[in-house]
Amino acid sequence: MLLTVRDGKPIYLSDVAKVNYMFKDRSSYSRLDGIPNITLSITKRVGANAVQVSDYIKVVIVKAQEQAKGMLKFDITFDMSKYVRNMVADLENNIFSALVLVTAVLLLFLGWRPSSIVAMIIPLSMLITFFLVQMLDYTLNMIVLFALVLVLGMLVDNAIVIVENIFRHLQLGYSRAEAAILGARQVAWPVTTSTFTTVCAFLPLMFWPGVMGDFMKYLPITLTLGLLASLFVGLVFNPAICSVWAGRQSKPRQTNHWFIRSYSRFLHAGLNNPGLTLFLAFCLLVALGTLYGKIGKGVEFFPEGDPERAMIGIRAPQGTNIHETDQIACMIEDRVQPYKPWLKHVITNVGSSGGGSMNLMASTGGPHLANITLVFHDFVERERPSVEIIAEVRKALADIAGAEIRVEKEEEGPPTGAAVTVRFVGEDFKTLERVSEQAKRLISNVPNIVNLRSDHEATRPELAFKVDRRVAMLLGVNTAIVGNFLKMAIFGTKVGTYRQYNDEYDITVRLPLAERVNIDDMYRLQIPNAAGEAILLSSLGKFEYQGGFGTINRVDQKRVVTLTANAEGRLGTEVLADVQSRLHPLGDARLAERDVLDWEKLRRLLLEAKGESTYSPAQRIWEMLSKKKSLLSFLSKAPQDKLAAVLSANISDKEQREQVLALLNDALSKPGFYHAEAFPNPTLSQKAEQLLEKDPETLNKKELQLINRELLVSAWPNLIAPNVRLELPPGYEIKYAGEKEEQ
């Protein structure tokens, strides 16, 4: 191609450049079970049926597989219709089980005719509920199906009451028609009232605000429709069916049965002693409440199940090129290989971050980001809980350096966010980074906390060219010309399109690789000015290495850095409470196992001080544990007796340390711990000295623990580790998820 003619000599494109067929710079890697692949994520449109869309896609895949003739392999790594079909199958199984069980129970107590009449209400009520759900234009989503399974047990209540009362009237000598009318009329209002009270218990869920409300509103609506359908069927269809199908007059039931006699005696005893009955009921209520407080396992939104997928999120430092990130991903793939017998697929995407959403096509990306999705076999094939495998994978990847690695399981239910979310609010990013890193160190060893990370990207390395504007103006060059020229030289600029048959190729102008990786070579570049003169880049300015912010996050117009973490094997509320305790301005002064530097020495000091009259730190511990906390002190041992028993007991070290720590923390929370003779000239922090001047009885438990912990550290500096507190500068705040803004 002729470009121009200079001094009568033609200048061709080949004289100033090389034309090569090349690929664009690689921006991502994708592998399926270690084999390069292309991942397609297909999302249904709003209102479309997931099962129908899935079936159509499978037909298309079969045709594509036939056309590929073995050159390509197609795999479906995730199919939402599978979950829908399983849910529907579970629903059908529950309906069938309910029919069988209800019929069996009714056969046992009422006979085959009443049981068959009541059994009819289940499919009839369910069909009416399905019709009403479709009328509201709701799909059979997970919440609707769950509500249908839940309402199954409530559908037969109305029918049992009505049919039982109708058969009672038959036993009294009424005809079938009369018994149907009188029996239904007699219990119509009680049945209606009980149904509406149940409906009213679920209706408030419709007004649940936020995203959670949009997700959960299908539950009360479906339950309400199912209960109203069962009421309609019970009041309208059951009497009509009984008037035809109830059979002849039933014989009176046997009233001298042993069960009826026993129940009658028990009932009469309660009615004849109402005061005692109410007292026993109240005692039972208090006992159950106390028992739940003692052994209750806490509250969580969705219980932990057996996830079918897990995701490994990889975040290397800003500036890491995609090839280095891919090497880290390959290293992780190798570490995962021992678990291959339990894995159906290992899906790797480098250059993208799934963000914990389990989406194979991530919404955000960068050369320093990657994610690996682990797809487990069905439980019947692997016969091992996936939670155990995930924990082992997390442990196997713990020592990989050069990137932040998170192993997350697939979450059940709606998106609820991380179990722990801590926001640090302020204006200076350097201060926020320092405070968040200190907090990260403080909470990193909280029991059962996993996947702790900060959303603050480390300073991004940048190479900036500083233009000397005065010189550039004199030479007829502006900053826009310099910027565009450097962009063309380093990244390339599309200048046209080359078409060949049905294919199009971008024509990109760019410096050769060898001339754009060295700053000295870049300085020798010549930039044309407005007059067409070539100006050396070195005369227009200089390159400088500098850092920039990776991300800037704000809440209420204030800069924030957020720490997030998950809880594994423990309730998120309990883990969050420990995090809040450690980040409290007074710190977490409670002694932990790691805070005792020499357990054998501590045990010896405590045993030697038992029964001493002279004041010492160990003697003060025994003194604080000498009083009983229980009002029924004559039935319980004093804490010091428990400590003596634990120190001399033949139990495991772990169990002994746990019990000793519990008693030591009890002693450190007492107001009378400090004594001048036991702690002469203690070295305390300014905060502790201020608190020590106050009346100990006016201090709260946390303040007492702070003072007494520092007293113990001052007396035993080589035995007890100092309490580390978070240093939060003035004007900076800590906020937890749920405070003032919806999470």
pLDDT band at 247 (very low <50, low <70, confident <90, very high): low
In a domain, 487, yes or no: yes
The predicted-structure confidence for 681-720, as pLDDT tens digits, reads as follows 888 888 888 888 888 888 888 888 888 888 888 888 888 8
Is 116 part of a structural domain of the chain?
Answer: yes
pLDDT of residue 514: 81
CATH number for the domain including 124? Answer: 1.20.1640.10
Q: pLDDT for 291-342, tens place per residue?
A: 877 776 666 666 677 788 899 999 888 878 899 999 999 999 999 999 999 9
**Is 115 part of any domain?**
yes
Domain-embedded: residue 343: no
User: Is residue 662 in some structural domain?
Assistant: yes
| Residue 644 domain flag | yes
- Domain shared by 599 and 714, yes or no: yes
What distance in Å separates the CA atoms of residue 218 and residue 205, rounded to the nearest whole number? 9
- Pick from 275-289, 345-359, 724-738: least confident: 345-359
Please check whether residues 511 and 632 belong to one and the same domain: no
CATH of the domain at 516: 3.30.2090.10
User: Percentage of residues in the chain with pLDDT exceeding 90?
Assistant: 12
Domain span including residue 494: 460-548
Both 650 and 522 in one domain: the answer is: no
Residues 255 and 128 in one domain: yes
Residues 367-391 pLDDT 10s: 889 999 999 988 888 888 888 899 8
Q: Would you say residue 236 lies in a domain?
A: yes
By 3-state DSSP, what share of the chain in percent is helix, strand and coil, each rounded to 5?
50, 15, 35
Query: Same structural domain for residues 98 and 166?
Result: yes
How many domains is the chain built from? 3
Query: Helix or strand or coil: residue 642?
Result: helix
pLDDT at 389: 92
Question: Looking at 257, 278, 299, which one is the last position of a domain?
Answer: 278
Residue 114 included in any domain: yes
Q: What's the CA angle centered on 196, arms 190 and 198, to 5 degrees?
A: 105
Per-residue confidence at 17, pLDDT binned at 50, 70, 90? confident
pLDDT by residue (tens digit) across 513-565?
A: 888 888 888 888 888 888 888 888 889 989 888 776 667 788 877 888 899 99
Tell which wins on pLDDT, 211 or 431: 431
Query: What pLDDT score does 636 carry?
Result: 52
- 543, 610: one domain: no
Write down the residue that tokens 């709260």 correspond to.
700
Same domain? For 530 and 606 the reply is no
**Same domain, residue pair 217 and 138:** yes
Tell me, what amino acid is at 41? S
Q: Are residues 251 and 109 in the same domain?
A: yes
Q: Is 627:638 a contact under the CB 8 Å cutoff?
A: yes
Does pLDDT of 87 surpass 50? yes
For residue 357, what pLDDT is reported? 42
Q: Which residues, including other chains, have CB under 8 Å from residue 295's CB and lie 6 or more apart? A: none
Residue 738 in this model has a pLDDT that exceeds 80? no
Where a domain ends, among 278, 312, 334?
A: 278
pTM, full prediction: 0.70
CA 179 to chain centroid:
56
Confidence of residue 724 (pLDDT cuts 50, 70, 90): confident
- My answer on whether 599 and 672 are in the same domain is yes
Give the Å distances, CA to CA, from 376 to 341, 343, 357, 624, 689: 9, 4, 17, 54, 57
